[in-house]
């Protein structure tokens, strides 16, 4: 079993970023702007009374946030696979919404339960299920199947994934310290590095025999 090298993943993310920095930064800025506008317009003010209207606005803001997350993961996967052909249109990918939502809920519950069990199990579960959303979007899998696949491809690589995640956190702290503007580079590079890790682990693991689910 080949090792998942942190340096290789970060370098791959950087090399892909360098191919089309304006497009990649533009996509991430657009996603941030959309998310920010949705939050400012829809999220109720602090201390506002809880009403049907404020609850509905909060749900709408969360839904838009999920669409933005799906778009960023989709864009990152397609940029990694073909930086030359990726466009801003790749940010719009509504088809996996329900599977993505279900996957996020299941992963969130599993991680919370693990954190309750003395924190360490929660970290292990988070690393084990790290690529659930990638598999839902990339392979059109249902949430349960995606969870199983993430468990399978991360097996034997969880310490390396922990090191990768810690390195990415450190990288983005440096981006934040660089007058915040550095995040426009470090966040895209980080997401591309994670896609590279996903692709590497996916290539090493045998192909799943079960058919892909349709949205």
Per-residue pLDDT band for 214 (boundaries 50, 70, 90) equals low
Mean pLDDT, all residues of the chain: 91
Closest CA to 111 of 147, 142, 66, 165: 147
Residue 209: predicted pLDDT: 47
| C-alpha count within 13 angstroms, C-beta hemisphere, residue 21 | 8
By CB neighbour count within 10 A (0-12 exposed, 13-18 middle, 19+ buried), where does 116 fall? exposed
| C-alpha count within 13 angstroms, C-beta hemisphere, residue 27 | 30
- Reported as a single tens digit per residue, the pLDDT across 14-29 is 999 999 999 999 999 9
What is the pTM for the complete model shown? 0.90
- Reported as a single tens digit per residue, the pLDDT across 84-93 is 999 999 999 9
User: Per the structure block, which two tokens stand in for 24?
Assistant: 């990649």
Which residues lie below 8 Å from residue 9, measured CB to CB, with a gap of 6+?
164, 193, 194, 196, 197, 200
Q: Give the containing element (helix H, strand E) for 9.
A: helix 6-19
Place of tokens 């349960």: 144
- Reported as a single tens digit per residue, the pLDDT across 146-172 is 999 999 999 989 999 999 999 999 999
Residue 210: predicted pLDDT: 47
Task: In whole angstroms, give the CA distance from residue 211 to residue 184.
Answer: 38
Task: In whole angstroms, give the CA distance from residue 158 to residue 212.
Answer: 26
User: Per the structure block, which two tokens stand in for 30?
Assistant: 């657009």
- Reported as a single tens digit per residue, the pLDDT across 105-150 is 999 999 999 999 878 899 999 999 999 999 999 999 999 999 999 9
């Amino acid at each position: 079993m080949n090792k998942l090298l942190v340096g290789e993943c970060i370098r791959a993310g950087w090399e892909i970023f360098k191919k089309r920095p304006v497009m990649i930064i533009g996509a991430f800025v657009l996603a941030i702007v959309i998310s920010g506008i949705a939050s400012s317009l829809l999220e109720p003010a602090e201390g506002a009374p809880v009403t049907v209207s404020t609850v509905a606005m909060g749900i709408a803001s969360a839904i838009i946030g999920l669409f933005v997350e799906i778009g960023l993961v989709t864009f990152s996967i397609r940029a990694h696979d073909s930086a030359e052909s990726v466009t801003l249109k790749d940010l719009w990918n509504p088809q996996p919404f329900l599977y993505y939502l279900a996957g996020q809920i299941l992963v969130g519950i599993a991680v919370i339960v693990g954190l309750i069990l003395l924190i360490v199990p929660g970290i292990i579960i988070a690393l084990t299920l790290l690529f659930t959303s990638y598999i839902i979007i990339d392979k059109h899998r249902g949430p349960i199947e995606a969870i199983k696949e993430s468990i399978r491809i991360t097996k034997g690589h969880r310490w390396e994934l922990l090191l990768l995640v810690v390195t990415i956190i450190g990288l983005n702290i440096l981006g934040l310290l660089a007058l915040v503007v550095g995040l426009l580079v470090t966040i895209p590079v980080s997401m591309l590095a994670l896609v590279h890790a996903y692709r590497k682990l996916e290539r090493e693991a045998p192909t799943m025999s079960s058919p892909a689910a349709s949205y």
